């Protein structure tokens, strides 16, 4: 089988079309550069009726929304999941890292929670605070101008709070809280937990004439057909094309490796077209990797050549090391005061209208770093699972559980909207012992060697999860609720979810000024090869108790400007 050469020569070849790749596409194409975007999944446009799931009812599907084919339910807009047929990954020993991939234009930005938090000044200098992990080579002041630009370009609602480590930005106005969120606010504030409007990249107000305004269907996870939420395809790649940018999309194209020349510089990428299963080469002056932290590590490690025998950019042996996800644990509550609720449309935006940022000082705690609390509940649309155990909550009211007959209808209606939940999402400590690497024993269906993971939590994370549950219970008690389920004990890691479950994996190509200890420099440029950049979450030195997307976008913009400048100066 021969490699098919693409005649076209690009200035930049971008691998991946999610947050990092989308932003690079927009900034680089807007500057006049000729860009190729290589995406492993199909073309996707949330406005395309054949692909749209927004505003569909559960009964429009024979499985009523069950998650048989998509992990978060069949209307969720991620083509993929923790398991993808034909694309395995393995574990080392008893490691349990769950790797979520979404194969489609826009990647995971089509379904994500839109929680758009800036890292604060402290988040870049964790080691200065507690001696753990490593500091970033840059600080908040370096990235602030890019956060500002991202806010204005993409749109994020929120409120100015003046908190040092939760920097304010250019916010659209926040939606008013729902009823269960007011209960949460009451309970949390009584427990001394700060509560403030959430910060989500959803348009509560017009931001330009290309994108629609949120119409409050609560379905951002299905990707918005009027582009009222941020997805990389609809908000970055399509606008780059519409404004006349030279952007060629290669979809269903699985990148195997970055190709290099005799001098060891990158010349482009090799990919497998999933339709004809043939290998293609596309060349460019610069290669930008944005395939997601672990996929990028995989591509780099698979890009072996005489010049780069250990894989591309891996002279330090650091590619794949320090992979870390957010910590996560959840708890549910039954609030008797919210039984028999009056009905009204409480959909709101896709996600919570308020949340709690980290509010404590670690000096008084037995674990490092913090977590934020997300809140969920309300009079939501029924889906597969609604009505299960229709009256199990009767046990808290001294009433009979189980049975049959029309009393069950009344039970379901009585309890509708009376259960809510809380999720803690926190910062773990990056460790060199947590890593992914190539598994020489296994290939995927495209013949590409796959990753295997070695990951275990430490007591830092376990103690944090324990603290989450203590906090949840106090808040639930304060709001007059009943805590559901038993408190997870030591045997269950205090309810700490498997690494990878929060889908914030970062750190596999970490940033640093020392080429022996890091993979990329502060401009996300490989120390080893000056025309290869990584703009996904791989370069994150630490994850913070924030969601990574806003920082991926800001860093990708900063890096893209650096690339433009370097190309102008003919440095790369």
Partner 1 sequence: MNRRDSIRSLFLGSMAGGLALESCVSAPEEVINEKIWQYQYGRTPKEAARDEALLGQQYFENTELNTITRLANLILPPTPEGTVEEAGVPEFIEFMAKDFPGLQTPIRGGLMWLDSYSNRIFGTDFIHSTEDQQHQILDQIAFPDPNTSNQKQEVQFFSLMRNLVMTGYFTSAVGIKELGYKGNQPNVWDGVPDDVLKDHGMSYDASWMPKFVDQSKRNDQAVWDDEGNLIS
Element (H, E) at 464: helix 459-478
Q: What is the rounded distance in angstroms from the CA atom of residue 226 to the CA atom of residue 215? A: 9
Backbone angles phi, psi at 131, to 5 degrees: 75, 5
- Of the candidate spans 275-283, 289-297, 386-394, 483-491, the one that interacts with partner 1 by CB under 8 A turns out to be 386-394
User: At its nearest, how many Å lie between partner 1 and the CB of residue 49?
Assistant: 7
| Binding residues for partner 1 restricted to 76-115, rule: CB under 8 A | 79
Angle between helices 459-478 and 179-190 (to 10 degrees): 110
Q: Are 505 and 323 spatial neighbours (Cβ–Cβ below 8 Å)?
A: yes
| Backbone conformation region of residue 135, classed left if phi is above 0, alpha if psi is from -120 to 50, else beta | beta
Measured from the CB atom, the residue of 380 and 449 that comes closer to partner 1 is 380
- Of the candidate spans 51-59, 431-439, 458-466, 515-523, the one that interacts with partner 1 by CB under 8 A turns out to be 51-59
| C-alpha closest to that of 522 among 568, 563, 559 | 559
Q: What is the rounded distance in angstroms from the CA atom of residue 209 to the CA atom of residue 239? A: 11
Measured from the CB atom, the residue of 174 and 287 that comes closer to partner 1 is 174
* 3-state SS assignment for residue 437: strand
| C-alpha closest to that of 545 among 166, 142, 151 | 166
- Of the candidate spans 308-316, 389-397, 463-471, 561-569, the one that interacts with partner 1 by CB under 8 A turns out to be 389-397
- Of the candidate spans 47-55, 295-303, 488-496, 507-515, the one that interacts with partner 1 by CB under 8 A turns out to be 47-55
Q: What is the rounded distance in angstroms from the CA atom of residue 544 to the CA atom of residue 121? A: 11
Backbone angles phi, psi at 25, to 5 degrees: -60, -45
Measured from the CB atom, the residue of 133 and 390 that comes closer to partner 1 is 390
Does position 155 bind partner 1 by CB under 8 A? yes
Does position 145 bind partner 1 by CB under 8 A? no
Measured from the CB atom, the residue of 233 and 426 that comes closer to partner 1 is 233
Q: Taking the mean position of all CA atoms in its chain, how far away is CA 198?
A: 16
Query: What does the per-residue mask of binding to partner 1 show for 193-222, with x meaning CB under 8 A?
Result: ----x------xxxxx----x-xxxxx---
- Of the candidate spans 137-145, 239-247, 271-279, 402-410, the one that interacts with partner 1 by CB under 8 A turns out to be 402-410
Q: Which one of 3, 5, 32, 55 is in contact with partner 1 (CB under 8 A)?
A: 55
Q: Which residues of 313-337 are buried (b: 16+ CB within 10 A; e: fewer)?
A: bbbbebbbbbbbbbbbbbbbbbbee
User: At its nearest, how many Å lie between partner 1 and the CB of residue 61?
Assistant: 6
- Of the candidate spans 9-17, 147-155, 436-444, 512-520, the one that interacts with partner 1 by CB under 8 A turns out to be 147-155
Does position 9 bind partner 1 by CB under 8 A? no
Residues 6+ apart with CB under 8 A from 431: 322, 324, 458
Does position 277 bind partner 1 by CB under 8 A? no
Does position 176 bind partner 1 by CB under 8 A? yes
The residues that bridge with 449 in the sheet, in sequence order, are 443
Does position 322 bind partner 1 by CB under 8 A? no
Structure tokens belonging to residue 331 = 């708890």
Q: Which one of 82, 170, 446, 562 is in contact with partner 1 (CB under 8 A)?
A: 170
| Binding residues for partner 1 restricted to 361-380, rule: CB under 8 A | 379-380
Q: Which one of 83, 210, 275, 389 is in contact with partner 1 (CB under 8 A)?
A: 389
User: At its nearest, how many Å lie between partner 1 and the CB of residue 323?
Assistant: 29
Please tell me the count of residues contacting partner 1 according to CB under 8 A. 92
- Of the candidate spans 394-402, 448-456, 462-470, 482-490, the one that interacts with partner 1 by CB under 8 A turns out to be 394-402
CB neighbours (10 Å) of residue 453?
Answer: 24
Q: Are 411 and 400 spatial neighbours (Cβ–Cβ below 8 Å)?
A: no
| Binding residues for partner 1 restricted to 242-271, rule: CB under 8 A | none
Measured from the CB atom, the residue of 332 and 381 that comes closer to partner 1 is 381
| Binding residues for partner 1 restricted to 57-76, rule: CB under 8 A | 57-66, 68-69, 74-75
| Binding residues for partner 1 restricted to 494-553, rule: CB under 8 A | none
| Binding residues for partner 1 restricted to 409-438, rule: CB under 8 A | 409, 412-413, 416
Q: Which one of 276, 337, 366, 470 is in contact with partner 1 (CB under 8 A)?
A: 337
Q: Are 224 and 216 spatial neighbours (Cβ–Cβ below 8 Å)?
A: no
Q: Taking the mean position of all CA atoms in its chain, how far away is CA 487?
A: 27
Measured from the CB atom, the residue of 198 and 296 that comes closer to partner 1 is 198
Q: Between vectors from CA 150 to CA 218 and to CA 39, what angle results, nearest 5°?
A: 75
Does position 233 bind partner 1 by CB under 8 A? no
User: At its nearest, how many Å lie between partner 1 and the CB of residue 60?
Assistant: 5
Does position 30 bind partner 1 by CB under 8 A? no
| C-alpha closest to that of 226 among 212, 236, 239 | 212
Pairing of strands 482-484, 327-334: antiparallel
């Amino acid at each position: 089988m021969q490699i098919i050469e693409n005649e076209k020569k690009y200035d930049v070849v971008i691998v991946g079309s999610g947050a990092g790749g989308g932003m690079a596409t927009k900034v680089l194409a807007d500057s006049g550069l000729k860009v190729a975007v290589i995406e492993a999944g199909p073309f996707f446009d949330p406005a395309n009726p054949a692909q749209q799931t927004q505003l569909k009812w559960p009964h429009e599907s024979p499985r009523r929304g069950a998650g048989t084919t998509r992990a978060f339910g069949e209307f969720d807009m991620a083509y993929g999941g923790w398991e993808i047929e034909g694309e395995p990954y393995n574990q080392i020993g008893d490691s349990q890292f769950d790797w979520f991939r979404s194969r489609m234009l826009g990647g995971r930005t089509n379904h994500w929670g839109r929680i758009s938090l800036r890292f604060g000044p402290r988040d870049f200098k964790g080691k200065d605070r507690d001696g753990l992990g490593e500091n970033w080579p840059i600080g908040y002041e370096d990235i602030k101008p890019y956060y500002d630009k991202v806010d204005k370009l993409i749109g994020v609602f929120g409120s100015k709070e003046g908190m040092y480590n939760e920097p304010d930005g250019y916010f659209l106005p926040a939606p008013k809280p729902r009823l269960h969120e007011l209960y949460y606010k009451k309970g949390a504030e009584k427990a001394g937990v700060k509560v403030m409007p959430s910060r989500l990249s959803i348009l509560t107000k017009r931001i330009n004439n290309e994108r629609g305004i949120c119409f409050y269907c609560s379905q951002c996870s299905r990707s918005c057909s009027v582009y009222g939420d941020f997805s990389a395809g609809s908000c970055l790649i399509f606008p780059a094309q519409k404004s006349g940018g030279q952007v060629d999309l290669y979809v269903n194209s699985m990148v195997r490796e970055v190709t290099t020349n005799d001098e060891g510089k990158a010349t482009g990428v090799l990919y497998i077209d999933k339709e004809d299963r043939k290998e293609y080469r596309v060349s460019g002056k610069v290669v930008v990797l944005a395939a997601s932290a672990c996929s990028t590590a995989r591509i780099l490690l698979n890009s072996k050549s005489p010049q780069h025998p250990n894989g591309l950019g891996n002279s330090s042996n650091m590619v794949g090391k320090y992979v870390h996800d957010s910590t996560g644990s959840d708890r549910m509550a039954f609030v008797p005061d919210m039984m028999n609720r009056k009905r009204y449309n409480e959909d709101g935006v896709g996600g919570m209208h308020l949340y709690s940022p980290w509010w404590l000082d670690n000096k008084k705690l037995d674990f490092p770093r913090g977590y934020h609390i997300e809140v969920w509940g309300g009079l939501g649309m029924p889906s597969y699972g609604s009505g299960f155990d229709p009256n199990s909550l009767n046990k808290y009211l001294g009433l009979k559980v189980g049975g049959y007959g029309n009393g069950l209808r009344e039970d379901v209606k009585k309890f509708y909207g009376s259960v809510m939940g809380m999720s803690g999402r926190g910062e773990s400590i990056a460790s060199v012992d947590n890593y992914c690497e190539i598994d020489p024993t296994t290939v995927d269906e495209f013949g590409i060697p796959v990753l295997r993971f070695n990951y275990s939590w430490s007591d830092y994370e376990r103690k944090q999860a324990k603290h989450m549950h203590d906090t949840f219970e106090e808040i639930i008690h304060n709001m007059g609720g009943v805590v559901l389920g038993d408190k997870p004990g030591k045997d269950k890691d205090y309810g700490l979810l498997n690494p990878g479950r929060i889908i914030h994996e970062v750190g596999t190509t970490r940033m640093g000024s020392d080429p022996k200890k890091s993979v990329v420099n502060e401009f996300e440029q490989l120390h080893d090869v000056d025309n290869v950049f990584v703009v996904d979450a791989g370069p994150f030195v630490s994850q913070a108790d924030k969601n990574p997307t806003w920082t991926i976008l800001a860093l990708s913009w900063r890096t893209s400007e650096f690339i433009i400048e370097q190309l102008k100066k003919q440095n790369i």
